Structure 1
Amino acid sequence: MTDHARIYVEEAEKYHLLISKQPLLHDVIEEIKPLKGLDVVDVGAGTGRLTVALAPLVKSVIALDASAEMLAVTAERLKQKGLRNWQTHIADHRYLPIKDNSADLVVAGWTVAYIANDEVKDGALNLQETIAEMKRILRPGGTIIIFETMGTGETAPNPPDMLKSYYKRLQEEYGFAHRWIRMDYQFESVQQALELTQFFFGDEWAEKVKQSQSSVVPECAGIWWLHV
């Protein structure tokens, strides 16, 4: 099994190369919550997939992540764009270092699942505490948007079993609306697809790419949002 925790600490740049092969999401977010003038918090920001896309469009953005190495990539990307309306902070999802009622939008991309899935002790409690923290930092009328996988290599939603209870809780216990989109990886070559899928998804996926000889790896993603 791939050690994602190690990757996020030791190979943040390579991880960013992988996710850079997927579509940007600012237009999807804009459909749910108009971005102009918003103060945004990106929970589990990683290398800035959402932070860097949103920063030019909003009033401010704070990127939070447990990995200092991932946040360093985010910071460098923001600096390269000449942006100044941002901060980064190391944080646990359940204890956000943000003041009450200080954000208009909280986004969380492919991150809450790590502490809320069925294979993690107290996954349901972790989700409860995370959602409570997100609500705490939001102003009235604020919005939470969560992105998670609905299946790598899938052309229609087929999420891993360990995530199904988490997704069900988002809708049934917390009242999130939901839809899904395609987030296919568009690699530059079959060789790059082989290398990067093996790096993050493991040998089984690398073998699938080898057999298909395709530089495109299908991916479905779920979007959950809640206006509070």
Structure 2
Amino acid sequence: MPDHTNVYKNQTKLYEQMISKQPSVLKTIEEITPINQLDVIDMGAGSGRLTSVLAPYVKSILALDASAEMLILNEEKLKHNKNLNYQIEVADHRKIPAENESADLVVSGWSIGYLGSSEVENNVHNIEKVMEEIMRVLRAKGMVIIFETMGTGFETPNPPEFLKQYYSLLENKYGFSHKWIRLDYQFDSLKQAEELSRFFFGDELAEKVVRENLITLPECAGIWWLKKER
């Protein structure tokens, strides 16, 4: 498996090209909660997959990521629209740089799992700290929505073994509701499908792409959401 820390630091444009082949999740978010005129925090905002689609509709958005390089791409998408109210900041999920009860919505796309993986030391404690921080910054009746992978190259959910404990914690310890959707990659050619899948997912999946001619690469995504009651 490629080193994603290196990807997010040194291969940001290639990563951005890859995720641009997936559909927007704006409608999925709006099915869970209205977003107009909310104060939003995007945790693990990266190159702006969620930030860029939410920013035109919300009151304000704070885009956070551990990678300064990814946030440069994020800001490139935002700075040309003078009507957007946004901030960009490098941050760790376990210490959100925001005031208590300052957000109506916290979103996180494919990011918290890096701390929650069972292959990471203190993963259960990491998730506990992340949840404490999310609840600290959310206002009463605020919502948190988390997106994570449920399997790449599969037509039905097949989550990675190292994320199952994390997902179980979300559902059974913290009380998140959940569902899954398809967010298939629609590549322009088989060559592009092979190159981009090999770059981010590794050789095994890339060989499957070639073998099965997967210009459309299936992707299952999990969505977990929870409202802060008070």
Relative to the length of structure 2, the TM-score reads 0.97
Residue 6 (structure 1) aligned with residue 6 (structure 2): yes
Preserved CA contact (<8 Å) 2:180 2:220: yes
The aligned amino acid for 2:105 is L
How far apart, in 1, do the equivalents of 2:129 and 2:136 lie?
10
Report if the CA contact (8 A) 1:150-1:160 is conserved: yes
**Contact 1:94–1:130 under 8 Å retained in 2:** yes
Asked if 1:173 corresponds to 2:173, the answer is yes
1:218 aligns with 2:208: no
Question: Unaligned 5+ residue runs, structure 1?
Answer: none
Post-superposition CA distance 1:143-200 (Å, at most 9, x none): 0000000000011011011111110000110000000000100011111101100110
CA displacement, residues 63-98 of structure 1 (integer Å, 9 cap, x when unaligned)? 000000000000001123444311100000000001
Residues 12-38 of structure 1 show CA distances to partners (whole Å, capped at 9, x for unaligned) of: 111011011111011110111101110
User: The residue matched to 2:71 in structure 1 has which SS?
Assistant: helix
CA contact 1:106–1:134 (8 Å) conserved in 2: yes
The residue aligned with 1:44 is: 44
Report what 2:206 is aligned to.
Answer: 206
Distance, in Å, in 1 between the alignment partners of 2:45 and 2:89 is 10
Aligned to 1:59: 59
SS at match of 1:178: strand
Distance (whole Å) between structure 1 residues aligned to residue 16 and residue 57 of structure 2: 21
Who is 2:189 aligned against?
189
Query: What SS does the aligned partner of 2:53 have?
Result: helix
After TM superposition, what 4+ stretches of structure 1 lie above 6 angstroms from structure 2?
none
Q: 2: distance between equivalents of 1:18 and 1:82?
A: 27
> Aligned pair count?
228
Contact kept in structure 2, 1:107 and 1:145, CA below 8 Å: yes
What root-mean-square deviation, in Å, do the aligned CA atoms of Structure 1 and Structure 2 show?
0.9
Letter in 2 for 1:71: L
Q: Report the equivalent of 1:111.
A: 111
Q: How does 1:53-202 map to 2 (within 5 A)?
A: 53-202=53-202
Using the aligned pairs only, state the percent identity: 53
CA distance in 1, matches of 2:188, 2:121: 39
CA contact (8 A) 2:151 2:221 kept: yes
| Distance in 1 separating the partners of 2:187 and 2:80 | 24
List gaps (5 residues or longer) in structure 2. Answer: none
Structure 1 residues 24-39: aligned runs within 5 Å: 24-39=24-39
| C-alpha contact (below 8 Å) 1:183/1:221 kept by paired residues | yes
* Aligned equivalents of 1:74, 1:145: Cα separation in 2: 20
Q: Distance in 2 between matches of 1:94 and 1:214?
A: 38
Contact 2:56 2:84 in 1 (8 A): no
- The offset of 1:6, in angstroms, is 0.3
The TM-score with structure 1 as length reference comes to 0.98
**Alpha-carbon distance in 1 for matches of 2:210, 2:226:** 40
Given that 1:52 and 1:78 are in contact with CA atoms closer than 8 Å, whether structure 2 keeps it comes out as yes
* Cα distance in 1, alignment partners of residues 196 and 140 from structure 2: 42
